[in-house]
Chains A and B, each alone.
Chain A
Amino acid sequence: MKTRNFKILLIGLILIIISLFFIINLYNKPFIDIKKSNPKIEITAQEILNDYQADESLANEKYVDNLIQIKGEIADISFDNGISIITLKDTSGFSSIICHMLPEANLNILKLKKENQVLIKGVCTGYLIDIMMVRCVLNNDNFDEK
């Protein structure tokens, strides 16, 4: 009788530990590794801006939350609150793409200048008067240093 109770207790305990393990794992689920992941969409700055200016909600469906790689020319680089921000140009004027970079990209950003062509990979969060990108990294293999 005693051993039976012990067995039930042991099985119950193991079940609790296993479910706790899964719950903690789910709770601590990591963000996707931007650097290692392949972009779902590869596009030029002009193309994505055109899409947003044509129809914002349609563009949101296509781009928001997706890992996107954008090819474009740097209009501005700034450092604010420890975050580097690279703004990609639009040839036509007002709108641009504002990319908030991950800290790990900082060193490579120092090598960049305005008007450099870059490939930036990150997650699109939507459009205000510019397209907003977060958690961006530079695709090092491809950027051309002028």
Chain B
Amino acid sequence: MKNKIIILLLLLISSQLFSQERYLTKEGYISFFSHSLVEDIKADNYQVLSVIDKKTGEIAIQLLMKSFMFKKALMQEHFNQSYVESYKYPKATFKGFILNLKELDNKNGTVAVEIKGILSIHGKEKEISTMANVQILKDQINLSGHFMVEVADFDIKIPIVVRNNIAKTIKITFDLQHKSYK
């Protein structure tokens, strides 16, 4: 009897563990791009943390604003000090769901999915919804795509002097290659 209970308990625990089905990356890529007549500005962040729960489709992304690398030191300085105020709001986050992720399990190749959730930058939250490409492999979920955000939605103030240098709408590109997390 005792043995049976132990076996049952072990089974329960292991099934719980397997049902988690978490996928994680600590080196995801997110970049943003601003196009204006005066100049193009691009910054890359290769230190993005992202976790997907395959069972529920839940996704949580976190990044450090200071990890955005610019071509020019001055741009990086202005971005962190004046625009996104990294010292006050060091992180940007996204929490949401990949819709119908579970149904895609048996499909091969890259499939378009919808992602919905709350994006938080500069201490301001905004609900967003975007299409993305998802590729489900053995022990891996790749998620990539891009979407646009309005600078004004996040209460980011751009001084008048450089207003023409920075676009009002910024393109955000992501490429997150999650690996099964044990």
Contact = CB atoms under 8 A, between A and B. Distances in A.
Main secondary structure of the interface of B (DSSP, over half): strand
Nearest to B44: A81
Interface residues of A, number: 26
Contacts of B67: 125-126, 132, 134
Contacts, number: 58
A129 B72 CA distance: 28
Interface residues of B, number: 19
Interface string B69-103: 10011101000000000010011000000000000
Contacts of B73: 29-32
A16 interface: no
Contacts of A132: 47, 64, 67
A21 B163 CA distance: 22
A128 B49 contact: yes
A64 B72 contact: no
A45 interface: no
A60 B89 CA distance: 11
A15 to B, nearest CB: 20
Given A64-B90, A125-B64, A100 B46 contact: yes
B12 to A, nearest CB: 25
A80 B64 contact: no
B26 interface: yes
Contact of A125 (B26, B66, B72, B74): B66
B66 A126 contact: yes
A60 B26 contact: no
A140 to B, nearest CB: 24
Contacts of B47: 98, 100, 125, 128, 132, 134
Contacts of B23: none
A13 interface: no
Interface string B120-159: 0000000000000000000000000000000000000000
A86 interface: no
